[in-house]
Homo-oligomer: A and B are copies of this chain.
């Protein structure tokens, strides 16, 4: 169990999730002594839906992915992914080292035929609901074909977990017109237009939060910058608002009167409710929780994994690929 807080937040989060979801089974993977200590601290008595599985080591948060992959074959991360591979578990949820999680998942589970690289997809709030954005940083230098694959995977994800038959897919760009963008986005737009997904066209940064499309496709560099920038804006505005309320006695009084409104607002924009990025395109379900997630936030990452299991996201991606008329998505059978 990795992440910034390890078993201290993951164990109570899992126990809480079990209590609230009577059909879910959870396997806690990690160093058994530590997990058992946490369970004792929670006065936890046994539950047939909770199992423990031992691992002798943990991938460090700043460890290089290749080192983790090569040298930590009994890490909690590796063991948890192995459990997905051999069918013992239906999904892996981790708050650990993102790079190591991507590298290990890809190595152990392999990608779905037609998909070159897994992508990180997150849900973000919009004015009227929410939208799915990918990639968020798993793929830095992307080809037009990769963006096409992200579009197909995002569409499949929304179909499976939201039960929408033709989710709209937008390509994040710097203008709506087809001539806008760099060479990669221009070509990606052409591919998406003939891919079989419900391609809306180019969208701009503000369209993410307007909820213009169900899915937003971008390369991992742009997606990561957009996400972090959003966090920065929200933090700054929150700080400004706090400062204005603390300016003098009258404004403090106004703040007191406004408390229920501010609380409702805070609940609505609480980023913990959007915790859990789907690592899409693998032969297996892997969800990445934010490393600094608390117990409440980690529960949303578990919930995401359960939704993907129920929505059979992997099958949906395979179906979307096989239905696409696009030749670059079609893979040759291994033997004829």
For window 182-237 of A, CB contacts with B under 8 Å fall at: 182-183, 204-210, 218, 220-222, 224-237
What separation, in Å, do the CA atoms of A237 and B231 have in the docked complex?
12
Complex contacts, A224 vs chain B, CB 8 Å: 174, 204-205
| Residue pair B232, A244 in contact (C-beta under 8 Å) | no
For the complex formed, measure the closest distance between the CB of A204 and the CB atoms of chain B, giving whole angstroms. 5
A32 within 8 A of B: no
Interface bits A260-303 vs B (CB < 8 Å: 1, else 0): 11001100110000000000000000000000000000000000
What separation, in Å, do the CA atoms of A155 and B253 have in the docked complex?
43
What separation, in Å, do the CA atoms of A268 and B236 have in the docked complex?
11
Interface bits A149-170 vs B (CB < 8 Å: 1, else 0): 0000000000000000000000
| Residue pair A221, B254 in contact (C-beta under 8 Å) | no
Complex contacts, A206 vs chain B, CB 8 Å: 228-229, 231-232, 235
With A174-B137, A208-B232, A233-B230 known to touch, is A254 a contact of B261 (CB < 8 Å)?
yes
Within 8 Å by CB of A268, from B226, B229, B244, B265, lies B244
| Residue pair B234, A205 in contact (C-beta under 8 Å) | no
| Residue pair B261, A251 in contact (C-beta under 8 Å) | yes
Within 8 Å by CB of A229, from B140, B208, B239, B241, lies B208
| Residue pair B265, A261 in contact (C-beta under 8 Å) | no
| Residue pair A183, B141 in contact (C-beta under 8 Å) | yes
| Residue pair B225, A247 in contact (C-beta under 8 Å) | no
| Residue pair B127, A172 in contact (C-beta under 8 Å) | no
How many chain A residues touch the partner (CB < 8 A)?
Answer: 55
Complex contacts, A205 vs chain B, CB 8 Å: 224-232
Taking the full assembly, how many copies of this chain does it contain? 2
Complex contacts, A233 vs chain B, CB 8 Å: 209, 230, 233-234
Complex contacts, A174 vs chain B, CB 8 Å: 137, 140, 220-221, 224-225, 228
Within 8 Å by CB of A225, from B183, B222, B250, B261, lies B222
With A210-B232, A230-B233 known to touch, is A240 a contact of B265 (CB < 8 Å)?
yes
A255 within 8 A of B: yes
| Residue pair B237, A269 in contact (C-beta under 8 Å) | yes
A34 within 8 A of B: no
A24 within 8 A of B: no
**Residue in B closest to A263 when the chains form the complex, CB atoms:** B244
| Residue pair A228, B240 in contact (C-beta under 8 Å) | no
For window 104-159 of A, CB contacts with B under 8 Å fall at: 125-127, 137, 140-141
Complex contacts, A182 vs chain B, CB 8 Å: 140-141, 221
Interface centre among A125, A207, A221, A235 (most CB of B within 10 A): A221
Can you offer 21 A-B residue contacts whose CB atoms are under 8 A? A127-B235, A127-B236, A140-B181, A141-B183, A205-B227, A205-B230, A206-B231, A208-B232, A209-B233, A222-B222, A222-B225, A226-B229, A230-B232, A237-B237, A237-B269, A240-B268, A240-B269, A241-B265, A244-B265, A245-B261, A255-B258
Apart from the given pairs A140-B182, A206-B231, A209-B232, 4 other A-B contacts in the complex at a CB distance below 8 Å: A127-B239, A205-B224, A205-B232, A244-B261
Q: Which A residues have a C-beta under 8 Å from some C-beta of B? A: 125-127, 137, 140-141, 172, 174, 181-183, 204-210, 218, 220-222, 224-237, 239-241, 244-245, 247, 250-251, 253-255, 257-258, 260-261, 264-265, 268-269
